[in-house]
Amino acid sequence: MIITELVNIYQEALTPIFRDELHIIYDGEDFISIILDGEKEEFFFTLYGVDSLRLYWCNECFIFDKARNLLVSSDTAGEIVYEEEIDIATLPRMVIELIKYLKDVVFVRKEEKIIGETPWTYDKIKRYEIKVKGIEGTLAEDYVIGNICIKHC
């Protein structure tokens, strides 16, 4: 998959939801930001090639990276790191589903629990529990994606 195909997948799936608020910024050949909330720029994600992505929402950052084991603690400190193996073919669908969920909730707090270390002990592997509140009129269902659990409080 090439980066332009990836951008098209995200654009086709997310434009009907975010409409005119969605903007794509090309900062380089393989460095692209997709803004979901227009000029606020508080809900967006950045693609670093086809196998690494950072999703920003409510001042939190979700990290999805094929080379996760090469990240060090200074890369991941305070962030929410997806610890499962990344499949480049299914990553867009996974991220789109997460975005659809996050658009209807607001952040309350985050709890982290260390459950191991990366192979070269550069970083800790964590399980995350993120507490959220639903926006009025939305369903209050929990959401789990790998080591990340999002729960309503």
The model's pTM is 0.94
Query: How does pLDDT run across 11-57, given as a tens digit for each residue?
Result: 999 999 999 999 999 998 899 999 999 999 999 999 999 999 999 99
Q: What is the pLDDT of residues 75-89, one digit of tens each?
A: 999 999 999 999 999
The domain spans of the chain are: 3-152
3-state helix, strand, coil in the chain (%, to 5): 25, 40, 35
Whole-angstrom Cα distance, residue 84 to residue 152? 23
In the block, tokens 């550069």 appear at 122
